[in-house]
Amino acid sequence: MTEKDIEIQKVIESLSPNERKIIPYLEGSTFKGLDEKTTIGKTAIMRALEFLSNKKIIQISIKKERIIELGINGLTYKKQGLPERRLANVIAEKTTISIPDAMSKSGISDNEFKAALGALKRKALINLVNGNIILTGKKEALVEKSLEEKFLETLPKNTDQLEPQEKYSLDKLKSRKNIIDIQDKKTVSFKPTDLGREIMQQNLTPTKDMIEQLTPEILKSGRWKGKKFRRYDLTSPVPRINGGKRHFVNQATDYAKKIWTDMGFKEMSGNMTQSSFWNFDVLFTPQDHPVREMQDTFFIKDKIAKLPDNKFVTEVKKAHEGKIPGSIGWQYNWKDKEAKKVALRTHTTCLSAKTLKEISQTKEFPAKYFSVGKVFRNETLDWSHGFEFNQTEGIVIDENATFGQLIGYLTKFFNKMGFDKIRVRPGYFPYTEPSVEVDYFNPVKKAWVELVGAGMFRPELTIPIFGRHIPVLAWGMGFDRMITKFFNIKDLREMFKNDINKLRDMKIWDK
């Protein structure tokens, strides 16, 4: 055998059963012809053609077109006429006709009648006066076929073949329901190469000693011995297989939890619905604070919460009214009615308050706790704000805690999250003093974006819980902004679209 014969034989040994079925019909055939002659299915034919192309047996050409076809209503209108044509025929008989008579005689629906009136008015052919339709244009213009009617008669048609007046008609008809339908079509053509023609002349029936697929049964029986295996082409492209993986938001939150646990923190969790008592009052947020209004908070209608034991509630009330040592409070009459309102939690700090209350009973501190969870605020949706977002929260309860330690915890967390360019500036929060805010610089938007509000809990918060002031470091940060930075998401809203193709292409969190 010549070297060429050997190469041809290698190619033949690599052919799959479907490729062998197709090859005899390659010359002068079409995709539809192959489907009729082989009966292996269109998907299998397309796959086989791609493999034959990779082996230089055929040349494939794919022509993509946008075809304008008649929609459901378009098919009806082509036979019966557009609504404006049927109405125009009625008006052409008389120069004036009442709207009810015109609708009855034209035989079109209410919606079609409105569309027809609009179409004829735009062409300045009619006018409406006192419930009557009056012909204002020339009768010849009313009877003459419109550009849209002429265009419908030419369909189906390729968008690349449209004349200027046809493009105008297309734009008009696209805005109307189901008159036209634009389809993207792909035409596959192919022809055998010189190699392909030579292979077409060969005997393509596989020999008895050829094994297409190695199975456990063949391995166990030993029938593979002395046999030939079909050659596999390891260079040909194959369909992409998308493996399962956790949602990128869950990957990020898992990583944040690992950072906190590595730093010695325990996780705290709780319900997404909370009473205003835990969400606001325990945190020394006055009952007339704007954040508690409907403009900022989602309240649960007709839902009333049960408050904790009276002694604790009384201590919280005293803090608000300025009746604890060293504080003037907010100088108003605190009402338990406001505290019983139920809302979607506006922050995870309510979990910190509940955890502190538990610690006041167990006396188990110094202690460090964190949470990562979803919170809700009635905010205007834009690229950097959402009404639903993830927040990570932390508290450190320690008699010897210092403000410097707070900055240290936050700096270490942000460094591990990949934020190098951050700034710390003074801030204000009702329940911490001193307070700070930490921002990072967004290089895309060229703006500083807030990441965290932090501080040390005020005595008005800790005294009702512990009976005395104990230093507590606290922070709460919008976690979604960290996620968008890592995944190069430029708009927070993209996190909730769940586009399956984008999710498949999203990189793995690999910090």
User: Using H for helix, E for strand and C for coil, what is the string for 465-483?
Assistant: HHCCCCCEEEEEEECHHHH
Residue 311 has pLDDT above 80, yes or no: yes
HSE, CB side, 13 Å, CA atoms: give it for residue 283: 29
What residue segments make up the domains of the chain, in order of their start?
3-67+186-206, 70-177, 251-270+346-505
Instruction: Give the CATH number of domain 70-177; options: 1.10.3470, 1.10.10, 1.20.1250, 3.30.470.
Output: 1.10.10
Domain 251-270+346-505 part of CATH 3.30.930.10: yes
Residue 141 has pLDDT above 80, yes or no: no
Q: 311: which DSSP letter?
A: H
pTM of the full predicted structure? 0.60
Q: Which amino acid appears at position 402 of this protein?
A: T
Q: 279: which DSSP letter?
A: I
Tens digits of residue pLDDT in 462-482: 999 999 999 999 998 888 878
DSSP 320-385: HHT-STT--TT-S---HHHHTEEEE-S-THHHHHHHHHHHHHH---SEEEEEEEEEE------SS-
Q: Are 265 and 369 in contact (CB under 8 A)?
A: yes
Report the range of poorest mean pLDDT among 110-124, 308-322, 424-438.
Answer: 110-124
Question: What angle do the packed helices 99-106 and 110-122 form, to 10 degrees?
Answer: 110
The mean per-residue pLDDT over the stretch 133-162 comes to: 85
The confidence score (pLDDT) of residue 500 equals 86
CATH fold of 3-67+186-206: Arc Repressor Mutant, subunit A (1.10.10)
Asked, colleague to colleague, whether 70-177 and 251-270+346-505 share their fold, the answer is no
The confidence score (pLDDT) of residue 511 equals 66
Strand partners, 436: 426, 454
Mean pLDDT of the chain: 88
Q: Report which listed range, 89-103, 351-365, 493-507, is most confident.
A: 351-365
Strand partners, 437: 425, 453
Tens digits of residue pLDDT in 288-306: 888 888 778 999 988 999 9
Q: Which amino acid appears at position 159 of this protein?
A: T
Q: Are 352 and 395 in contact (CB under 8 A)?
A: yes
* 93 against 259, higher pLDDT: 259
Percent of the chain with pLDDT over 90: 36
